Each structure stands twice: as structure tokens, then as C-alpha cells.
Structure 1
């Protein structure tokens, strides 16, 4: 590869710090000195891409390709600007040129797999008129793209984008095992990857036998790594709401217990006890209700992690339905206490 001119190297350092305007000023002076500097044109294109948009970046890519039609950097710049401008269905020839120029580059091959897959799905849908493809149809249409994605993974075992493309294809063809393995690989490379973290957390939270408390803790852990994720916050709120609904069932259980104590539905075999009930009977019923609440509601809340506890308080403070559930629980418990409590409460 041709060595970069010192001015282009300085511009690259500015690009690394996202100081694109200063980098463009340097690159402009370099182009004035040597209009044939391909690397300078490519750097200009990337700066324009991040500041002015894909159209201006495309013009810089065209200038670079006029000077060097098989320059890998210029080809990838053109491909990225086309994709950003909604050109996934037209970018395949450019990416095939990039793969031909740099056959060992995993990123170009992964991007080609992405383009081939999207284009194949669209063409198949247009040809057949199908609005929704079955797993078998998707697998058939995605065969070439799957092969390209696997080759990209072979070339770049640490290439995050190659894993993302391969995971997306595996998920759409219904290969959940491979998709999960790829998600695990993605999280190994980037532990805070939004998509993989959301998918794996949701899978763990919805696994059989996972209760609301455990699900809330899983979403809280994921939210700690992605504090700005609306999906994680929404799922945490839902799990927290399920926890609050549990208090309503506990209150209803206490109410049923109190009702059973005075036998609300007497029969010939089991007549209703004479009122008022003895203090011992009332005390026993209240002890049982205290155990239900102590070990069912309060102890469960205390065992939650601090992040989930904070979300419980936040949801109660801001969520209307959460307050409704707590009001229902409180009303049921009040009725139970009026039934089972000392005579002075009745």
C-alpha cells in the first residue's frame, strides 16, 4: 500500500478525534497541491459522509475511483454511501469489486452477504407475490448469503459486523441454535451490544420457570450496561408490574382465609360459627396472614436487588396501573383485617 502523505496522516489523526472540519481543511490543501492523491479523496469522502451526508461523500468517492478504479478504500466508501442513501439493492456490484480487490477482507465480504441477502429476499417476494416467507423459503433464498457470511466469519473471527450479519440470517431462517451461538460470540466481542444483549436477556427472562423477580433482575442487569435502552426499561417495567400483581394475589389469599374462618358459605355439615369469634381464633388468623405477607410480599421485596427495588418505587410513583394494583391489594387486606381483626375494628 502506498504510504500516506504527512498531511493526510495529520488529517487521519483529526478524523480519529472526530474533528472533521479541521481534517477537511488539511485535505483541501493537499488536493490543491496534488489532485491525484487517491487517499486524500477517500478521507475527504469519509469526512463529508459524517458531516454533509452521502451525496457529498459519493462525489468524493467518484473522484477517487476515476483515479484508481480498483482502490479498495474508494470502493468501500462508495458502497457505504450507497447503503446509507437506501441503495442496498444496487450496491452488490460495488461490493463484489471490493471483494475481488481484497479477497481476505472480512468486512467487505460480510457487507456483500448483507446486500445479497436483502436483494434476494426482495426479488423473491416481488416474483412470488409473497408477503411473508416461511422458514424453508427464507433458507432457500438465503443460501448464497449464508455462505458469504460464514466465509466472512472465517476470515474475521473477531469481526463484529460479520457476526451481526450471520446472526440476522440464521435468525430469519429459523436456526435458533446457531443464532444463539452467534449472539454469545457477539457479546464476547462487545459485552454491551444492544441487539445481542436484548435478545439474550429476553430469552433468559422468558425461559420456563423464571419468575417475575428473576426476570426483573435480568432486565435490570442488562439495563445497567445500556442505561439508555427504551426496550430494556420497558421490559423491566413489565416484570416489575408482574411483581406488584403478585401482592394482589397474596391479599386475596388473606381475604379467602378470613372468609373461611367465619364460613361465609355455611352448610348443614359445616354451620357458620357463632359471632363474635374468640380472640384465639382471630389471633391465629392474623398470624397466618402476617406470615403470608411477611414471607410472600415484604421478604420477596427485600430480596430484590437495589436496582429492581428502585424501579418498583419509581413505577408505583409514576405508573397509574401500578397504583391501581396496590390499591386493590390494600383494599383486599383491609377487608381481611376487618373480618379477622379484634372486635374493635368491626
Structure 2
């Protein structure tokens, strides 16, 4: 990776998306065939809220290199966010074809299937998420998505085990704290200490991520006995964790 791209990537990680986009754009002016740079620009523009421009950048990446794995994964993410689930699934499956032993490709497909809202595909989403976790047992994001997909299927025991595994690997996962607390809420009339565990989980999630409105709402709603919502997916966290190991 060039010095300019290294700097742009660091700016992106710090949340300085406009500066990162400007840096990578300057690099692309002299290197228009750099597929990895186009992917980074897509991530920057998406973070800035411009999905259309992000998709254009991904298309440029794939035009430069149709085998660019990270481009297919980001494309799947962007198309899912746009509600274009069939195209997103095709992109995720292409990433699996390119890298059949890479956990992130399966993670991308499981995420697409889960977000599609098609109840008939929930079991498939869970099975694909399990494949990702088997390929990358050391990645908390893989276990978190196993938890999410099991949670959807109302397999609460499996979901709890998956969330706990995610937290063992990454105690700072606000999403896993939140969803585990949701499970405790469901046990509040049957399991001693479940209410306190839920409150502690929501408080921890809110403290770890002050921008996590779900956790804060869940914590506040406990005072009224309201059934709050699970944090079904951590989009940015999942994509970053996948791209961090995707390679070229």
C-alpha cells in the first residue's frame, strides 16, 4: 500500500472521512487503476452518507480488478443498505467464489440474508453465519452474527452462547452486551437476577458506545417495563472486521 493510501486508511479509522476521501481521491488522480484505493474511497463516501457515490467507487474498483475481494464485500453491504437484496446476495456469493475459505465472505452473505427480512431464509442465514464462525473462531464479529441469526430463530440458548463467546473475545462489544441483556429481559420472570443482569448489560452497552441509541433506549425503557429492541446488526463493525482480514 502506498504512503498516501496508508495515510488515507488511518484517517478513515480515526473517523476523519472527508480528509480520507480527499487524500485517496488525490491518489486516484494519478493511479486510476488502483482497485484498493477505489474501495477505500467507497468506504469513505459511504461513511459520509453518499451511498450512490460509494457504489460508483465500488464499480470502478471492480472495473479495475474484477477479483478485488473487498470490493465485492463492500458492494454487498451497500446494496443491502439500498434494499437491493438480490444484487447484494449475488455480490456476497461472488466473494465466496473468489475466497471459499475466507470467513468474511460467509459473514457478508449471512448478513445479507438476515437483513433481507425474508423469514424463509433465516435458517440459511444462521447456517452461513455458523460457517463464518467455524472458519474464524477468533473473530468476535463472526460469533455475534451467529447470535443474531439464532436470536431471529428464537433459539435463545444458542444466541446466548454466541453472544457470550463474542464478549469473551471482545469485552468492548456494545452490541453483544445489548443483545445479551435483551435475552436476560426475556428471562426476567423465570431466572433469578435476570432483571439486574439486563440493566447491567444495557448500561455497559451505553457506556461503551455513547452513540448507541438502542442501548440507551433499552436502559431507559426498563424503568417502565417496556419491551425494548435488540441491536440486530452492527453494520460498520462487521464490515470493518471483515475488511481488516480480507487482504488485497
TM range (shorter): 0.7 to 0.9
Closer, same or farther in 2 for the Cα pair 1:188/1:62, shift >3 Å? same
Rounded to whole Å, the distance in 2 between the matches of 1:20 and 1:64 is: 19
Does residue 90 of the first structure (1) align with residue 77 of the second (2)?
A: no
Rounded to whole Å, the distance in 1 between the matches of 2:11 and 2:130 is: 35
Rounded to whole Å, the distance in 1 between the matches of 2:40 and 2:51 is: 14
Query: What TM-score, normalized by structure 2, do the two folds share?
Result: 0.75
Name structure 2 gaps, 5 residues minimum.
207-214, 227-248
Name structure 1 gaps, 5 residues minimum.
125-140, 240-346
Q: How does 1:226-241 map to 2 (within 5 A)?
A: 226-227=205-206, 229-238=216-225
Equivalent pairs counted in the alignment come to: 215
Tell me the residue number matched to 1:129.
Answer: none
Task: Decide which of 154, 162, 179 is 1:196's aligned counterpart.
Answer: 179
Does residue 25 of the first structure (1) align with residue 22 of the second (2)?
A: yes
Does residue 156 of the first structure (1) align with residue 139 of the second (2)?
A: no
Q: How does 1:141-290 map to 2 (within 5 A)?
A: 142-191=122-171, 192=174, 193-208=176-191, 210=192, 217-227=196-206, 229-238=216-225
Rounded to whole Å, the distance in 1 between the matches of 2:88 and 2:54 is: 15
Tell me the residue number matched to 2:106.
Answer: 109
Which structure is larger by alpha-carbon Rg, 1 or 2? 1
CA drift of 1:237 comes to 4.4
**Partner SS for 2:76:** helix
Query: What TM-score, normalized by structure 1, do the two folds share?
Result: 0.55
CA drift of 1:37 comes to 1.4
Task: Decide which of 66, 70, 74 is 1:73's aligned counterpart.
Answer: 70
Contact 2:106 2:132 in 1 (8 A): yes
CA drift of 1:171 comes to 3.0
CA drift of 1:56 comes to 0.6
Tell me the residue number matched to 1:43.
Answer: 40
Contact 1:186 1:196 in 2 (8 A): no
Contact 1:187 1:196 in 2 (8 A): no
Contact 1:163 1:186 in 2 (8 A): yes
Closer, same or farther in 2 for the Cα pair 1:163/1:87, shift >3 Å? farther
**Partner SS for 2:85:** coil
Higher relative CO (Cα under 8 Å, sequence separation at least 6) belongs to: 2
Contact 1:113 1:149 in 2 (8 A): yes
Answer with 18-27 or 184-193: which moved more.
184-193
Rounded to whole Å, the distance in 1 between the matches of 2:148 and 2:201 is: 21
**Partner SS for 1:44:** helix
String of CA shifts for 1:70-126, please: whole Å, max 9, x gaps. 10121112111111222234311111111122223212202212334565936x5xx
Rounded to whole Å, the distance in 2 between the matches of 1:216 and 1:88 is: 37
Tell me the residue number matched to 1:15.
Answer: 12
Rounded to whole Å, the distance in 1 between the matches of 2:115 and 2:47 is: 25
**Partner SS for 1:90:** helix
Rounded to whole Å, the distance in 2 between the matches of 1:59 and 1:180 is: 39
